[in-house]
Each structure stands twice: as C-alpha cells, then as structure tokens.
Structure 1
Amino acid sequence: MVILISLGGFFEFYDLFFTGYVAPGMARSGLFTPESLGFFSALGPLKVAGFGTFVFSTFMGLWVGALAFGQVADRCGRRMIFTWSLIWYVVCTTIMAFQTTGLWLNVWRFAAGVGLGIELVTIDTYISELIPSRERGRAYAVNQVITFSAVPVVAFLAFALKDMRPFGLDYWRVVVLIGSLGAVAVWFLRRSIPESPRWLARHQRVEEAERIVADIERRVAAERGIALSAPQPAQPEKEGRGSLMEALRPPYRKRTVIMSVFNMAQVIGFYGFAAWVPTLLVSRGVHVTSSLAYAFVIAIANPFGPLLGVWFADKFERKTQIVVSLAAMGVVIVLFSQASSPALLIVLGVLFTLASNVMSFAYHGYQAELYPTRMRARAVGFVYSWSRLAAAFAGLAIGILLHGYGVPGVAAFIGTSMLVGIAAILLGPATRGLALEKISH
C-alpha cells in the first residue's frame, strides 16, 4: 500500500522538478518573451523573469491546493482526494503541454498545481495513519525513494530529448506529456487502496475500519508465517471539532507556528537549488549543453538520500535528522558558490541533494505526526502551504539575486534560510516511536 500510494507522489515530484530541466526548451519556443507572457511580463524586465513566472505559477497553484483543499480530505476521506487530484493534474498538464503563449502556459500550470497541492498533503496524512509508530520513519523513507526516483527520470528525458522533436513536438512538450500518461496508469493501480481506517473510525464507520485492519493483519500474518501479538492498550484520541481554528489555538498553536516558519525556510534551499541547478551551473561557468548533462548526474542522487534513510529513519529522532540535514545544506551551498571545477560542482551538488532529501522524508513524516486525525489533513495542508507560497516568491527572489549577485548571492539567501529552519525545528516536540494519540496530546 505504501508503494502504491507513493506512485502518485512520483508524478508530483516529476512535475515539480521538470521545471528546471524544460526551461531552456520553453525559452527557445518563445514562451518567455514579454509579448507571450501578457500580464506576467509586469513582474520585471529581468533576464530570468520569464522562467521565474513559470515557477511562480507552479507554487501559487500548489499553495491554493494545499491551503484550500486540505480540509476536504478531512471531510471526504483520504482515498477519494488522492485519487481524483491525480486526474485533475493529468487533465490540466495535458492541456498545458499544447499552449503556445507564456500567459496560458502559466495559467494552466497554476491549475495543475492546485491538484498537486492537495495530493502530497493527503499522501503524508495517509501514511502516518496507516503505519505503526515504530516504522513510520521507514515508511516515509520508502515513500520518498519512490517519489524522488522521478527526478533522474525527468533529468534524463530532458537531456536525451533536448535536440529532438519527437512526434513533431518540442522536446519539453513531450517531457510534460510523458508525466501525464504515467499518472493515468497510476490512477488505475491505486484503485485497490483502502480508505484510512483511522479516518473511517473518526467518522463512525467502525465496521468498515475493522474490516480493513483485519485484512491487513491477515495478510501480514500470512507473509510472516507467525501469529500477531495482541494489540497494545491505546490512548483514545480526544474529541474536538477538527477545524483549522483548532490548529491555531493551544496546545497546537505553537506547533503550527513552528512548522509554518520551518516550511517557508526549508523550501528556499530544497527547491531553490533543485529547480535552478542547470541555471546555477551555467552561472558557475558550465556550458549550457553541459549543464543539463551535469544536472542529470546530480539528479541521480535524489533517491539515495531516502534509501539511506530506510536504515536510520527510526533510529534517530526526526528533529535530529532534520537539523543535521539543514546544516549540511547550508555549508554545501556556500562551497558550491565558490567552486568552479565541473567535477567539484557535481560532487557538491550530489551532497546537497542527499542532505535535502534526508531532510525531506524526515519532515514530511514529522509534521503529519503532530496533529490528531480529526484535523490532520487540513493542519498539514495549512503549514505545508507556507512552503508553496514561499517557493513562489523565492523563485523570483533567486532570479533577482542570480542576476544581480551571482551564485554567491543565491548561496547567502539559501544559507540564511537553513539557519531559520534549524531554529524553528529545535522548538518542536519529539515524536520518534510514539503513538499518534500520545503525540497529539
């Protein structure tokens, strides 16, 4: 079930990360000229403003999806949302692939982002409710091994197709359409995934929840060849309205503020590097054509951070993993800004990618653990939405800094953000090995 649910996340990451790899092709298609961008051209006559508007539209859509529709998953169920949001993404992205102006490219990019915005929030919520406390960290690591595998796939496709016109289409359009076709296949695979038993129990559908849990127990006993131990006494979840306002009041207000600040800070490093890596390499003196090849080598590292995490995810406190990763990202990006050797740039890019992906799986699990079932999706959607909003403006900010101050300016921006993220996460509670009910109390 973790694998099937993660396949949807694969296409969210495919979609998020193709931005940096298809930007050169979009620019060659004339989509980022002031005439093509329409009212988006008002964002400024910067050299990278055109691509910046595409990144801006992506994350504004993700922000609206995470903020506005997180509550729908609490009301209507996890399964329905992560299934139909994938269909929304397919439709919008397919239409986007055939746009001929920057204005409508960005409009449909925004629309696709709305569907993806709720997708990942619901996946995080579902996994936290499905997996036993002693293995939740490992489950998130496995989840992100699968999702991050999308990054080298899209990097390879962009590199392999960059000088071609498959089916008479620009290469970037084909890269986009491949993601849509794969998402359709995943939609059919996911139809066998059951609803979250915790959500069902919360909505008085106890018999249905019991059937799902009994089926899981039966399958585990058959796979292991042993009888399962008796269930441990569980602390019941406190009653409450489950509204977003509850997340903004004690005892959850501190957690909500901490995770909102953290999400704004971490995304500047995470997507600030990943979405701009080909452009950053060019700014460090690497030829445009070679930058896509080097970016592909760096992209291969993406699944390996979570893969290492499968081993240690439940051995160390989540907070510790997040803080160490943020510190490593801050140090490495400073070294990257001063390097000029292609080999050293690749090594530093790989190290930054590994650290950022360890941070990613650790915090995705951490923030989903901090809230009770009655409001988990909407609270996670709220705090996560700040990362989307920050990323929308960070894309423009990085464009400004890169144009005016080069890679060192970008590195200073990312490094400072990592320090803010560390300060925020240190104030949060410990969660490793604890039942969700105990954490929520």
Structure 2
Amino acid sequence: MQTENTLAAPRVSWRANLTAKHWRTLNGAFMGWIFDGYEALALIVILPSLMQSVLTPEQMGSRPIYSGLVIGITLLGWGIGGLIGGTMADYVGRKRMMMWSVFLYAVLTGFTALVHDVWQLSALRFVTGLAMGSEWSTGIALVAETWPKEARSKGAGFLQSGFGWGTLIAAVIWYFLGEFNPFGADNWRVMFLVGALPAFFVLYLRRGVDESEKWIEAVRNKRWGATEGSTAPAGEAGKRPFTLTQIFREREAARRIALTTALSIVTIVGWWAVSSWLPVYTGALAAAGHVENPQRWISSVNITYTIGAIVAYMASGFIIDAVGRRWFLFFTFAGSLLTTVMAYAWVGTVQQMQIVAPINGFFTLGCAFAWLAIYPAELFTASVRSTSVSFVFNSARLIAWFFPILSGTLIKSFGGVAQAALIFGSVYVLGMVLPWFLPETKDQDLPE
C-alpha cells in the first residue's frame, strides 16, 4: 500500500523550491544578458546605415567586406574578453566579474556613437567586445550553481531569453527610428547611446545579487577536479591548478571541451555567417519586388525573427528536460538546416520571409543558443565551471570571427547573399552528429 501511495503521489512542481533569492539571482543575470542581446542585434540592424556614414565613396564598392570586418572584429574581441573574464570569474567570483563586464561595455558602447570612420568603429567594436564577453559565462555559472536541480534548465532558458528580449528591444527601437527618422542619417548613433544605459544596472548587481555558495565552497575545500569524481594531479592537492589548463589536463574534461566547443562553433558560425544576413537579404527581396518602404519590412522581419527566438528560449528548459540534451541538440540543428534552406532557397518575397523568419529564429537563434546556457554547465565542476563554459562559448568566437568577413567576400564573389548563406548553412549537419558522443545529463545533479 505504501508503494502504491508513493507511486501515486503527485510530482513536485519545478517551482516548489524556488525562493526570492533564486529569482533575484536570475533577474541580475537576465538583465545583463538583455543588454548583450541589444548590443548584438543593434549592430546588425544599423549596419547598412552605419556603413553609409563611415565608409568613403571608394570603400563603398566593398561594403560587404567592410561589414563583415566590423562583425568579425566584434566577435574577436568578444571571444578574447569572454575567455579572460570567464577564467577570472573562477578566481575572483561570478558577481564581481559580471559587474565590471556590464559597466565597461556600457561605457564603450556609448563612445561608439561618436565614430566617424570604419577604423575608429572597428577599434571600438573590438574593445567593447573585450568588455562584453565575460558577462554571459558568469551569469550562466551563477544561475546553474544557485538554482535547484529540477528548475536549473528552466532558469538557464529564462536567462538565455534575455538575449532575445534585448534583440527585440533593439529591433523595436530601430523600427521607430526608421518610422519617425528623428536624426536622419545619424539615427544609428542613438542605438549606441541607448546601449550605454546598462552602466547604471551595476548598482542593482551590487546590492541585489549574492555570490555563488557552490563556488565559494569548492574553493574553500580545494576541490580542483574538472569533472565528477576527478581530483587534482598527484602532488598538487593543496595547490590550485590554472583552470584553463586543468580542463585540458584531465582526459574526460578535454573530450567534453572538444565536443561542446565544436557544437558551439556550429551555433556561432551558423548565426553570424547565415542568419545575421537575413535583414540584408530581406532588403534585396524588397528591392526586387519593388515594395513600398523596404525598411519597414526589414524591421518587421527582425522583430518576428526575434519573437521566434524568444519563444524558443522560454520553452527550451522544458523541452530539454522532456527529451534530453542530446535529442534537443539534434532537433535544434536539423531545424536550423531546414529553415536556412527555406529562408534562402524557397522564399522569394518579403511576405514569405515574414512567415519563415520566426520559424528560423526559433531554431537558429533560440534553440541553437539555449543549449549553451544549459548543457555545458552540467558537464564541469564549480571550481572550473565559468572557465569551461566561457571556453566553449568564446573559443568558438575566436575560431569563427573571420567567417563574417569570409561570408562578405563570398557574397561579392558569388553575386548574392543566398548562395553564401546556403554554403555556410551546411555546418548544421555537423551539429546533428556530435551530440551523441557526449554524456546525457538529464535529471542529474551538477558535478561537484
């Protein structure tokens, strides 16, 4: 009878063990990631107007290449800064590193509004990326280590949705700037000035967010192993190994790093070298169809694409807990491949793009980035978690940063965005295969 009653007992809600402290921690990381999302899409949507302002007449003939350069140099700075900041967060703490990251990239984004040529722009994009890179990995580690097991993936999905809300804010602001045109050719400068506002958010982080107890305990007890059951090398039990080398020194940790980094490259190359060109391609469709107010269609596609991504972010924690991490990754990249083909090979009008864009956004921006917020943190211990998550996310940028530049060259060589996007979109096939070589972490505790 007792067994029957136990089996019949209702399952505890994933929200049952959440407290106000959990939600404050999520809110702090969520708000920081909103600003990152805003910054990322703001650059994409203003790129045509921005290039018109900063390029000389001689440079305009190679505009796709310069556009790719600006995106690529941002990714390079983002990758280097994220790798450094994520590693530092395992030494100085998640909260402190997050505060410095938010403050510095906000100030540098504001200064970007003052640039007058493509070289000033590229330099500021690089240093802004350096500052911005570490915010994500510190927030992911903080939420993963503070939220209970049954709610952890949901919290990470909600956190990742901050990027989508940030991109939506950028798309909406740019839409209204285009509609009312208050500053004409200088509308793009307003977008960067708005990006300076997160500097004030540091005040909330300082007072409302606590440090991770799991990280404090791991450092206090000198638990330096990178994966479950592992320990520091013999003779170094009392001395902390450098976290960036520790994740490669252990065979299992190195294997997990290699596979998840490859999947991260698939995600980042897919977005920056394929989906980031959707606004440009929509503009080309509008011109070919001789539609009125093409900028309105471009902004509308940006908004619906982002809405699709936000839906995916909010749902990702529930989906990944239902089907498991590996099946989630498989379906994510299969959907990304299919919707890339739909967007660049099937769509022929802006009206059709309006339908496909949110579906494409659900996979290529939503699910494709949500797994990075959930899965890598479950594969490594607290003493190296921020370093590991940061390496997986940011080393991919260090490898992929030149793809936007290369895609610009391909666009010019092949005579169109669609051909280049379809070539790069084939990278999603790799993402469908690699997950099956990683461990399944569904319903498991974080490795200590």
TM range (shorter): 0.7 to 0.9
Instruction: After superposing the two structures, state which structure 1 stretch, 74-83 or 260-269, moved more.
Output: 260-269
1: CA distance between counterparts of 2:31 and 2:221?
27
Measure the CA separation in 1 of the matches of 2:204 and 2:183.
28
The residue that corresponds to 1:420 in the other structure is 430
Correspondences of 1:310-389 after superposition (within 5 Å): 310-338=317-345, 339-356=347-364, 357-389=366-398
Task: Work out which of the residue numbers 45, 55, 58 in structure 2 matches 1:32.
Answer: 55
For residues 62-73 of structure 1, what are the structure 2 equivalents within 5 Å? Answer: 62-73=78-89
SS in 1 for 2:55: coil
Which sections of structure 1, spanning at least 5 residues, go unmatched? 36-40, 207-234
- Alignment correspondent of 1:199: 215
Q: 1:271 to 1:25 in 2, by over 3 A?
A: same
Pick closer, same or farther for the CA change 1:169–1:80 going to 2, 3 Å: farther
Task: Give the C-alpha shift of residue 313 in structure 1.
Answer: 3.5
Length-normalised TM-score, structure 2: 0.83
- SS state of the match for residue 443, structure 2? coil
The alpha carbon displacement at 1:136 in A equals 1.5
1:366-387 superposed Cα distances (whole Å, 9 cap, x missing partner): 0121111111111222221232
SS of 1:327 mapped into structure 2: helix
Q: Give RMSD over aligned pairs.
A: 2.4
Deviation for aligned residue 1:197:
0.5
State the identity %: 21
Q: Given residue 343 of structure 1, which amino acid in structure 2 is its aligned partner?
A: Q
In the other structure, the counterpart of 1:299 is 306
Amino acid at match of 1:411: A
Distance in 2 between the 1:376 and 1:173 partners?
Answer: 37
How far does residue 279 in structure 1 lie from its aligned partner after superposition? 0.5
Q: Give the equivalent residue in structure 1 for 2:97.
A: 81
Aligned residue runs from structure 1 range 183-262, under 5 A? 183-191=198-206, 192-204=208-220, 238-239=231-232, 241=241, 243-249=243-249, 250-262=251-263
What is the TM-score normalised by the length of structure 1? Answer: 0.84
Answer whether contact 2:51 2:63 (CA < 8 A) is retained. Answer: no
**Aligned counterparts of 1:330 and 1:169: Cα–Cα separation in 2:** 36
Q: Structure 1, residues 208-229: CA drift from partner, whole Å, max 9, x if none?
A: xxxxxxxxxxxxxxxxxxxxxx
Say whether the 8 Å CA contact 1:330–1:415 is kept in structure 2: yes
Asked if the contact 2:31–2:162 (Cα under 8 Å) also holds between the matched residues in 1, the reply is yes
Give the drift of 1:237.
7.4
Kindly provide the CA deviation profile for residues 23-59 of structure 1, in whole angstroms up to 9, marking residues without a partner as x: 1221231x13387xxxxx7xx9634112112101210
CA-to-aligned-CA distance 1:137-157 (integer Å, 9 cap, x gap): 111111122331111211111
Matched-pair contact (CA < 8 Å) for 1:371–1:379: yes
Provide the C-alpha distance between the structure 2 equivalents of 1:79 and 1:140, rounded to a whole number of angstroms.
Answer: 17
Write out per-residue CA displacement over residues 119-162 of structure 1, whole angstroms, 9 at most, x where no aligned residue.
11111111111112222111111112233111121111112113
Q: Is the 8 A contact 1:327 1:418 kept in 2?
A: yes
Distance in 2, matches of 1:140 and 1:91, equals 27
Q: Which residue, 3, 13, 20 being the options, matches 2:37?
A: 13
Separation (CA, whole Å) in 2 of partners of 1:334 and 1:358? 17
Change (3 A) 1:383 1:297: closer
* Separation of aligned partners in 2, 1:263 and 1:309: 17
- With over 3 angstroms needed to count, the CA separation of the structure-2 counterparts of 1:376 and 1:393, relative to structure 1, is same
Q: Matched residue pairs, number?
A: 401
Which shifted more, 90-99 or 386-395? Answer: 386-395
Question: Could you say what secondary structure the match of 2:375 adopts?
Answer: helix
| Structural mapping, 1:147-162, within 5 Å | 147-162=163-178
Report how far residue 404 of structure 1 moved.
2.8
Distance between the aligned counterparts of 1:236 and 1:393, measured in 2? Answer: 38
Tell me if structure 1 keeps the 8 A contact 2:300–2:354. Answer: no
**Which runs of no fewer than 5 residues in structure 2 stay unpaired?**
1-24, 223-227
Asked if the contact 2:329/2:431 (under 8 Å) is kept, the reply is no
Mapping for residues 91-170 of structure 1, pairs under 5 Å: 91-162=107-178, 166=182, 170=186
CA contact (8 A) 1:14 1:151 kept: yes
Distance 1:103 1:171 in 2: 20
> Alignment partner of 1:100: what SS?
coil
1:174 aligns with 2:190: yes
- Structure 1 residue 309: Cα displacement: 2.6
Which deviations, in whole Å up to 9, do the C-alpha atoms of 1:302-335 show, x marking residues without a partner?
3111122354342221221121011001011112
Q: Is the 8 A contact 1:62 1:388 kept in 2?
A: yes
